[in-house]
Structure 1
Amino acid sequence: MNAPWSSWLHEYMHKCRSGEILVGQELMQMFDILDELLHDPDIRFDPEDANKRIKFIEEKCRHFEAPYAGKPFKLELFQKAFVTALHAFKMFEEEISKWVRLFQDVLFLVGRKNGKTPLIGGLNLAEFFCGPEGIKILCSSNDYEQAALMFDAINAMREESPSLEKVTRKNLTGIYFGNPKRRTKKSKFSYRNKGHIKKISAKTGAKEGRNIAVGAADEVHEMKDNSGVMPIRQSLSTQDEPLYYELTTEGFTNDGYLDGRMVEARQVLNRELHRPRWLVWIYTQDSEQEVWQDERTWVKSNPGLGTIKKWSFLRTMVEESKTNKATRIFVLAKDFNIKQNNAAAWLTADEITNQDDVPFDLEKMRGRIAIGGVDLSKSGDLACARALFLMGGKKYTVSQYFIPESKLSQLSKEDLEKYKSWIREGRMTVSDGNENDFRLVTQWFVKLVKSYGIRFLKIGYDKWSAIYWVKEMEDAGFDMVRVAQDWAPMSEPMKLVEADLRSNLIYYNNDNLDKFCLENTAITVNSKMEQMPIKVQGKDDRKIDGAVTLIICYRAYIDNRSDFVRLSA
C-alpha cells in the first residue's frame, strides 16, 4: 500500500474523487456512506481482516485460465478496496457481546469479464482458510452450470496451490479439509474441521435446513423471484458473522429478482431506505449517451478494463452494436449494466419500408421454387401463411392472413376498420365461428401450386400447428418441417431478416398488413446473445404473426440454402 493511505479503500476513494479513476455516481454515493461510517463513533475501522484475506489471495491463489493460467492472483486496486470495505468496518453486536463485521449482505454488480467470479471465488477460498473452524460455504446460481463456474474456480485455485491442496480434498459433493494421506493430523486443516464448500442451483430441491456461514449467489439477474436465494439467506441465521454475496451483471428479465434488488439498492444509496448492513458496490454508467460519445467512460462499469478486460474486445462489441440490435441490447446490459427492456422494438420504420420495393405479383413467380412458412398461433387468433422466393440475389415474399369471425367483434373500432379493409382487399380470410379453419390455409398453398405452378421445397410450421393439419398438408404433397419458436431455432434467421431488410434485399410490396406485424414485433435477448421475436411491451393486442412467418421461412431457407439456391437459379 502506498503511503499516506491507511487502507486500500482510502486510496481508491481518493483516486476516484480526484478523477484519476473514473467511477459512476452510484459508487460515489456508496463512498459517501462509507465516509460517514469512518466518522461514526459506534463503528470501528480495522483493515486487519481485509488485509489478511488480500494477502491470502495474492500469495496462495493462482489463476487457472488462459492467458493468466498458473500466474499469481494479483488483485487490482478496485478489488482490494472492495475487500477492505467489506471486512474492515466493525460494529459491536449486543446480542453476542463482541465486535463483528458490519456488512453481512453484499450486492456486487459489474460488467462482464471484469473478474467478478474469480474474485468472489478467491474470497470464498480465503474465508474457508482464514475464517473460523467449521465454516460452511455455498456457491449458488440460477442453474447448476452457473453455480459450478464459481465452485470450479475455487477448486482450480485450490489445486494450483500445493500448500492448499496438501490440506484439502475434493469429491463429488464438495471441497473439504483433510488430506487422505494424513488422516492422523488434528490441526484446523485436518479431518477434524468439518467445514466445506459446496454448490447448489436455484432449481435444486431441499435447500432448506442448511446451516452455512457464507452464501454466494452468482448471476442473480436470471432469477424471476427470490425463491432461489431466500433459503440460502435463511440458512445464515445462526451465524455470528454471516456473509451473503450477490454478484451479477444487468440482465433481461423484466420484473425479476434483480430488478427489485436494484430498486432497493438505489434507495439505500439515495438515503431513502435504511439498510446499514448492506454493502452496495455497483459499477454503472451515468447515462447511455456517454457510452456512445466517450469511450473513456467505459471504465465506470468496467473497472478491470485494460488490465483484466481488453479494450479491443469492448471496442469491437460497441462497434457491432451500432448495426445489430441484438448485440446492442446485450452489450448495454452485460458490458455497461444499463438495464434493457426485454421487449425492445426490433426494427425502425426506415428498416421496415423497402425504398427499392418495386410492386410485383404472383404471376412474376410462376413456375418458381418457394419456401413456405406458417404461424397458426392459437386457434382463436390471427394466423399467417407465407411463401418466400429467391430471384437475382433478392428475396420476394407473399403472404395470406386468416382470422376467426368472432375475433373481429373483440377489436377496437380503429382496428376493426383496418381489418375490414384487409378483408375487402383479400389479404385476410375469415373463418366462421370461434376458430380458424386450417383447411383454408391448405387451400392457399394448393392454389399457389395449381394456379401458378409454384413448387415448395419445404414449409416450416410452428409449435402451435395442429397435427391433423400437418398430415393434411403432407397428404397434399408438401414437405413439412417443424420450426420451434425457441431461442436456438429463431435467433439466426431473425438476425438475417434484420440484415436483409436493412440492405433492401426483401421485397414484400411494402404490404400494409406485413408492415403492421413488423412494426409490432419486439426483440428479446438471452444471456447467450440469442434472440427471439415477441410483441412490443404494452401492445399485447397487436399481432406479429406476419413477422414470425418470415423468420420461420428464413429458418427453413438457412437449413436448405444450397438446394434452394440451386433450384431457384
Structure 2
Amino acid sequence: MARETRPTDYPKLKNYQPTRFMLPTSHYDKTKADRAVAFIENLCHTKGKWAGKRFWLLPWQEQLIRDIFGIVKSDGNRQFRTAFVEICKKVGKSELAAAIALYLLYADNEPSAEVYGAAADRQQASIVFDVARQMVEMSPALMKRSKLMSATKRIVNYGNAGFYQVLSAEVGSKHGFSISGLVFDEIHTQPNRQLYDVLTKYSSDARQNPLHFIITTAGNDRHSIAFELHTKAVDILEGRRVDPTFYPVVYGLKDDEDWEDEANWYKVNPSLGYTVDIERLRDAYREAKQNPADEITFKWLRMNMWVSSTTSWIPDAIFMKGSEPIDMRLLEGRDCYAGLDLSSTGDITALVLIFPPRNSDEKHILVPYFWVPEETIPQRVKANSVPYDVWEKQGHLLATEGNVIHYDFIQKFICDLGEKYHILEIAVDRWNATQMIQNLEGAGFTMVPFGQGFASMSTPTKEFYRLLMEGQIIHAGHPVLRWMAGNVVIETDAAENIKVTKAKSKEKIDGIVASIMALDRCIRNQGETQGSVYDERGLLVF
C-alpha cells in the first residue's frame, strides 16, 4: 500500500455531522465509517497528475462515505440501500465509484459478495471497472487475494468467494442475480427504466445489507428514470418527500440560477480547485459565451443542469430576438413562400409562410400554422406536460376533428391562404405527401419537393440560424414555434454540413423544419434577380 501522508494543502472533513436524514432509530457507527474511509484512502488514484497517489477523500466525498457506511439501524445494517449522487464531470466520479465497488467486494463483510457494474452499455460500465482493476493492481494486499479477468471484466476476491462483474445492457439476462452491491454509472443515458428496475427491485432480496450506488451527471430527458430519481432526490432534500432508505446528493444548478456567477461554480463543483482547475472552467465559460452549442454543454457537464438537449441548437434568447409583433393586415397580397411538413395522420402538421423583405430596412416575416387531431390533445397534455390545450384555445394551434389529421381540411386552408397572400412556391417533403402535392398543384400552387438530407437542408439551415442571430426574422414569439425551437437538435456530417434531426430531438420540431424549407425557396428565388446570398457569402460553418 502507498504510505505517503495527506498533503498539507489538501482539505479534510472537519467536524463531521451525520446527514439530517438519519432516522431517530438509527445511529452513527464511527468504527464502520472509519473502516470505509481507511479502505478507500489506502487505494491509489489512477488518472492524471494524481495517478499512483493515495486516494485522499475530499470533504464532500468523506461526508458521503461516512453517511452511507456509518449510519446503521438497530440491527447493524445500513440505513441507506440506495445512494443517488448527481454531480458534474471531472470531479472524480469514476474513481469514487470504483473505490466503493471495491469496498463492497473486499471489506463489507458480505459472504459471496456479488457486486455488479451497470451503465447504458458494457463499454460505459467498463470505465469504472477499469479504474477498479488498476486500483487493485496498485495494491499488493488486494492483489494477493484477487484474480483479475480483464477479458470478461471480472474481479474475483478469493477471501470471500465474491466477485465484481461488468454487465451488458440486455435486460432479459439479468434475472436471478443475488446482488450485494451495484454501481450504476451515468444512469441519464438509460433509454428506459427496465434495466434499473430489474437490478434494484428484486435482485437484492436475499441480501441483508445491499447497496445500490448510482452516480451520474444531469441529462436532457425529463421523462427518463434518471430525471425521476433526480426529482426524488431533490424532493427529499427540500422536505417534500421522505424515504429513509434513499440517500440524496445533487450538486447542480436549477433552471433559474445564474450559471455565469463564479460563486455558483463552486457550489456545484465541490472538487473545484483540486481535481477541477478554475482556469480550465473559465476557458470553457468563455467558449460557451461565443457558441450556443458550447453554452448548452457548459451548463450540462460543468454546471450539472438539466438541459433540453445536449446539442440544443437555438437558445431561447436568440429565438426571441424576433418577437416583435406582426400586423397581419399589412401582409395581405404580399409575395411569400411556404414550407409544408406533413405529419403522419396522428401527429402535428406544420405550414410556415415566410415573407421576404422588400427593402434593406425590412426583415423576413415568418407566419406559422399548426394542426393536430382534436381527440389527441388531452392525451398529449397528460403524457408530455406540453400545453396543447392552452395553445388551441389561444388560436396558436388548430385542431381537426377526430383522432387523425384530415388532409382535406389542411388543403382547403392552404387554398384559402392563397386567396389572401401571394404564395409563390410551397416546399414540401415528398414522403407521405404525394396526393397532397397533386391536389395543390391542381389548385394552381407551385409545389417544390424538398429532401430532408444534408444536401438539401444544410445551407438553408445555416442561413436560418444566421438570420435568427441577427434578429432578421420576425415571428412575434409564436409560442408553439418557440417551443419547437427549443427542441431542435442538429446533426453534422464529415464535411460540416448540418441538418435538424427529428430522430434525436426530444420533442416536436415540425415548425422549424417547415421554416427552413420556406426560407430556402425564399432566398433562392430572391437570388434569381439579385444574386443569391449563398453565392455572395458562401456557406456558414458552426
- Same fold, TM-score > 0.5, yes or no: yes
Q: 55, 58, 83: which one pairs with 1:106?
A: 83
TM-superposed CA distance for 1:305, in Å, is 1.3
Q: Would the alpha carbon gap of residues 120 and 483 (structure 1) be closer, same or farther in structure 2, given more than 3 Å must change?
A: same
TM-superposed CA distance for 1:115, in Å, is 1.6
Secondary structure in 1 matching 2:63: helix
Is 1:48 equivalent to 2:49 in the alignment?
Answer: no
For 1:390 and 1:158, how far apart are their aligned partners in 2?
Answer: 68
- Residues 170-228 of structure 1 deviation map (CA, whole Å, 9 limit, x = unaligned): 254431338xxxxxxxx538xxx352322233x53232211121112222334576432
Is 1:188 equivalent to 2:173 in the alignment?
Answer: no
For 1:208 and 1:136, how far apart are their aligned partners in 2?
Answer: 14
- Aligned position for 2:219: 251
Q: 138, 154, 157: which one pairs with 1:175?
A: 154
TM-superposed CA distance for 1:137, in Å, is 1.4
For 1:308 and 1:477, how far apart are their aligned partners in 2?
Answer: 58
Contact kept, 8 Å, 1:521 with 1:544, in 2: the verdict is yes
For 1:394 and 1:159, how far apart are their aligned partners in 2?
Answer: 70
- Aligned position for 1:352: 322
- Aligned position for 1:242: 210
Q: Would the alpha carbon gap of residues 194 and 414 (structure 1) be closer, same or farther in structure 2, given more than 3 Å must change?
A: closer
- Aligned position for 1:21: none
For 2:308 and 2:99, how far apart are their aligned partners in 1?
Answer: 33
Is 1:377 equivalent to 2:359 in the alignment?
Answer: no
Contact kept, 8 Å, 2:36 with 2:103, in 1: the verdict is no
Contact kept, 8 Å, 1:405 with 1:434, in 2: the verdict is no
- Which stretch of the first structure deviates more once superposed, 334-343 or 138-147? 334-343
Secondary structure in 1 matching 2:13: helix
TM-superposed CA distance for 1:239, in Å, is 1.5
Contact kept, 8 Å, 2:485 with 2:512, in 1: the verdict is no
Q: 108, 130, 138: which one pairs with 2:107?
A: 130
Q: Would the alpha carbon gap of residues 200 and 438 (structure 1) be closer, same or farther in structure 2, given more than 3 Å must change?
A: farther
- Residues 231-275 of structure 1 deviation map (CA, whole Å, 9 limit, x = unaligned): 212211211321111112232222433443344334444556543
For 2:412 and 2:92, how far apart are their aligned partners in 1?
Answer: 56
For 2:194 and 2:436, how far apart are their aligned partners in 1?
Answer: 41
For 1:92 and 1:338, how far apart are their aligned partners in 2?
Answer: 38
TM-superposed CA distance for 1:110, in Å, is 1.4
Q: Specify the code of the residue in structure 1 equivalent to 2:106.
A: F
Secondary structure in 2 matching 1:12: coil
Contact kept, 8 Å, 1:139 with 1:200, in 2: the verdict is no
- Aligned position for 2:402: none
Secondary structure in 2 matching 1:254: coil
**TM-score, structure 1 normalization:** 0.63
- Aligned position for 1:433: 408
TM-superposed CA distance for 1:401, in Å, is 7.2
For 1:270 and 1:404, how far apart are their aligned partners in 2?
Answer: 41
TM-superposed CA distance for 1:106, in Å, is 0.8
Q: Specify the code of the residue in structure 1 equivalent to 2:112.
A: G
Q: 43, 46, 49: which one pairs with 1:62?
A: 46
**TM-score, structure 2 normalization:** 0.65
- Residues 514-565 of structure 1 deviation map (CA, whole Å, 9 limit, x = unaligned): 967644534137899998789x99xx9xx975432234578999xxxxx983
For 2:453 and 2:367, how far apart are their aligned partners in 1?
Answer: 19
Secondary structure in 2 matching 1:195: strand
Task: For structure 2, list consecutive stretches of 5 or more residues without a partner in the other structure.
Answer: 378-387, 398-405, 441-445, 493-498, 523-531
Is 1:336 equivalent to 2:336 in the alignment?
Answer: no
Q: Would the alpha carbon gap of residues 418 and 236 (structure 1) be closer, same or farther in structure 2, given more than 3 Å must change?
A: closer
For 2:187 and 2:459, how far apart are their aligned partners in 1?
Answer: 27
TM-superposed CA distance for 1:280, in Å, is 2.2
Is 1:232 equivalent to 2:199 in the alignment?
Answer: yes
Contact kept, 8 Å, 2:234 with 2:250, in 1: the verdict is no
Contact kept, 8 Å, 1:326 with 1:525, in 2: the verdict is no
- Residues 354-399 of structure 1 deviation map (CA, whole Å, 9 limit, x = unaligned): 89xxx9999999xxxx9x9642234586443678999999998688
Contact kept, 8 Å, 1:103 with 1:277, in 2: the verdict is yes
Give RMSD over aligned pairs. 5.9
Task: For structure 1, list consecutive stretches of 5 or more residues without a partner in the other structure.
Answer: 16-27, 94-98, 179-186, 421-430, 558-562
- Residues 420-470 of structure 1 deviation map (CA, whole Å, 9 limit, x = unaligned): 9xxxxxxxxxx9834648998xx99xx999xxxx9x9xx78386x436778
Secondary structure in 1 matching 2:173: coil
Q: 280, 294, 310: which one pairs with 2:277?
A: 310
Contact kept, 8 Å, 2:184 with 2:215, in 1: the verdict is yes
TM-superposed CA distance for 1:490, in Å, is 9.0
- Aligned position for 1:299: 266
For 2:334 and 2:514, how far apart are their aligned partners in 1?
Answer: 22
Secondary structure in 1 matching 2:177: coil
For 2:192 and 2:461, how far apart are their aligned partners in 1?
Answer: 29
- Which stretch of the first structure deviates more once superposed, 246-255 or 333-342? 333-342
For 1:492 and 1:13, how far apart are their aligned partners in 2?
Answer: 58
TM-superposed CA distance for 1:295, in Å, is 0.8
Q: 146, 149, 173: which one pairs with 1:206?
A: 173
Contact kept, 8 Å, 2:450 with 2:517, in 1: the verdict is no
For 2:361 and 2:303, how far apart are their aligned partners in 1?
Answer: 37
Q: 46, 51, 71: which one pairs with 1:89?
A: 71
For 1:461 and 1:545, how far apart are their aligned partners in 2?
Answer: 11
For 2:335 and 2:395, how far apart are their aligned partners in 1?
Answer: 28
TM-superposed CA distance for 1:128, in Å, is 2.5
For 1:230 and 1:321, how far apart are their aligned partners in 2?
Answer: 37
Q: Would the alpha carbon gap of residues 45 and 231 (structure 1) be closer, same or farther in structure 2, given more than 3 Å must change?
A: same
For 2:127 and 2:179, how far apart are their aligned partners in 1?
Answer: 20
Secondary structure in 2 matching 1:523: helix
Is 1:154 equivalent to 2:154 in the alignment?
Answer: no
For 1:48 and 1:199, how far apart are their aligned partners in 2?
Answer: 30
Q: Would the alpha carbon gap of residues 155 and 546 (structure 1) be closer, same or farther in structure 2, given more than 3 Å must change?
A: same
For 2:278 and 2:500, how far apart are their aligned partners in 1?
Answer: 26
Contact kept, 8 Å, 1:325 with 1:346, in 2: the verdict is no
Mapping for residues 402-417 of structure 1, pairs under 5 Å: none
Q: Specify the code of the residue in structure 1 equivalent to 2:63.
A: A
Mapping for residues 29-48 of structure 1, pairs under 5 Å: 31-33=19-21, 42-46=27-31, 47-48=33-34
Q: Specify the code of the residue in structure 1 equivalent to 2:118.
A: S
TM-superposed CA distance for 1:278, in Å, is 2.9
Q: Percent identity?
A: 17
Secondary structure in 2 matching 1:101: coil
Q: Would the alpha carbon gap of residues 228 and 511 (structure 1) be closer, same or farther in structure 2, given more than 3 Å must change?
A: closer
- Aligned position for 2:486: 523
- Aligned position for 2:58: 77
Contact kept, 8 Å, 2:102 with 2:132, in 1: the verdict is yes
Q: Would the alpha carbon gap of residues 404 and 155 (structure 1) be closer, same or farther in structure 2, given more than 3 Å must change?
A: closer
Q: Specify the code of the residue in structure 1 equivalent to 2:513.
A: V
Q: Would the alpha carbon gap of residues 491 and 318 (structure 1) be closer, same or farther in structure 2, given more than 3 Å must change?
A: farther
- Which stretch of the first structure deviates more once superposed, 522-531 or 116-125? 522-531
Contact kept, 8 Å, 1:470 with 1:480, in 2: the verdict is no
Q: Specify the code of the residue in structure 2 equivalent to 1:116.
A: K
- Aligned position for 2:233: 265
